[in-house]
Amino acid sequence: MYKNIKVIALDADDTLWVNEPYFREVEHQFAKLLSPYETENKINQELYKKEMDNLELYGYGVKGFVLSMVEAAIEISNNKVNSKEIQQILDFGKEMLSKPIELLDGAEEVLKKLSPKYKLILATKGDLLDQERKLKKSGLLKYFDHIEVLSDKKEDNYKRLIEFLEVAPSEFLMIGNSLKSDILPLVALNSNAIHVPYHTTWIHEEVTQNDNVDSYKTIQSLSDVLVFL
C-alpha cells in the first residue's frame, strides 16, 4: 500500500511528544485562579471563545494562549483582575515554554528505523521559536531532513509543502494525531495519511462528522507504522 512513498511527514505535538495535557493542566490552574469570579465551566468556555476569536491574529501556540488567558481574565473578572493575577497567568505561560520534553512511546525508535529509508519531514504548527526549542530538547532533530512549522494545517498548506518537496501527493505520507489537521487535508489531496489518536484532543481539533474512514489508516501506537513502512 505504501510502496510509492518517498517522503514521510510527522506531526510533533501529541504524535512524537506530550503537549495537549499541559494545556489542560494550565486551563485548570487558570480556572482556580479566577474561581472568586466564576465557575470553572464558564471560565473554560470564555477562554476557549477568546482563543477562537484570537486565532487568526495570534496563530497557534503558547504565546497566543497566554494573551487569550489575560483577555479572558479581564472580562471574566469584570475588570477586577489585579496585577498579581496577571503575573500568575504570565508565569503559567513561561512554565509551559520551559517544560522538559516527554517523548511518546516508540517515537525515537520509529524515526531511527524510517530515516534511512525515507526523507523525513517534521510538519507542525505553533510558535516557531517554541517548536524549535522543543525539537532541540527532544534529541530528535538529527532524524529529520526538513522542518516545516506551518501557520495552519489546511489543504492549501499541505499542497504548498508537497510542491516544495517536489514529490507527487501519492509519494507523500503524513502521520499524526489530529484528524482535522494531520489526516483529512491529505485525504482531500489524494495523498496518504496514518492516524495515531492521542487520548487528549483540543476541542478545536475535534471532527464531528467523518465520512473518510476508508481513505486513511488508523493505528493504536506510533510503533505500529513499522509494520507497513
Contact characters 168-197, Mg ion, x per CB under 5 A: ---------xx-------------------
Q: How many CA atoms lie within 13 A of 40 on its CB side?
A: 9
Q: Which is nearer to Mg ion, 14 or 171 (CB)?
A: 14
| CB 85, min distance to Mg ion, A | 30
Angle between helices 62-76 and 40-58 (to 10 degrees): 130
Q: Which is nearer to Mg ion, 14 or 127 (CB)?
A: 14
| CB 131, min distance to Mg ion, A | 11
Q: Which is nearer to Mg ion, 31 or 174 (CB)?
A: 174
Q: Which is nearer to Mg ion, 11 or 46 (CB)?
A: 11
CA 120 to chain centroid, in Å, comes to 18
Q: Does 13 bind Mg ion (CB under 5 A)?
A: yes
Q: Where are the beta strands (DSSP E) in the chain?
A: 7-10, 119-125, 146-150, 172-176, 192-195, 217-218
* Residue count, binding to Mg ion (CB under 5 A): 5
**Rounded to whole angstroms, how far apart are CA atoms 122 and 199?**
21
- Are the C-beta atoms of 46 and 76 separated by less than 8 Å? yes
- Are the C-beta atoms of 220 and 199 separated by less than 8 Å? no
Stretch that binds Mg ion, among 4-12, 98-106, 143-151, 220-228 (CB under 5 A): 4-12
Q: Does 14 bind Mg ion (CB under 5 A)?
A: yes
Interface residue list for Mg ion (CB under 5 A): 11, 13-14, 177-178
